[in-house]
Structure 1
């Protein structure tokens, strides 16, 4: 999980920038790719906070899942690793109110 990886001495405090490629995210299943659950998001997520980056990705995927199904479609199992990384390991924030999200580009319907 993100808390275990980022709290290792080889990573903690050394990472300056997190870049997540979101060109064609998979919003259900995995690790094998099912094209029915992929979409052309065509995005990049850049952050100085690995927990905030994962929190934004989780929101993006949850919004896409809900949009796809037309109703709430929770992840199963739920993504509890962010709370652990945030509260126990203190590696960043998972509080949506403290994340400064800046959208850049042409996609007004970015789902976040």
Structure 2
């Protein structure tokens, strides 16, 4: 049987994985739409749509960097904060402010279930 802290850590990891998968999936969907638009619209829209692809790639890279920073900050927070409740609220605040994805809601629900 897992302890309460191990269950929380597992939920955080699952939330991070779902966030990353959702970001990558949105990028691929936008690329598919872009390819479809280029095929149907012709060469006139290539420049505008190319800039859209460039924006999506930069967006994805920025989010990957933010995930690395978030992981480091949460690891530091677990060392510096006092109680488990403070650690959870700090981590959830960072996740919700930076990402606001459905996985942040998932993490919030999962950790609130574990609080007694």
TM-score (norm 2): 0.31
Larger radius of gyration between Structure 1 and Structure 2: 2
TM-score (norm 1): 0.32
Whose strand proportion is higher, 1 or 2? 1
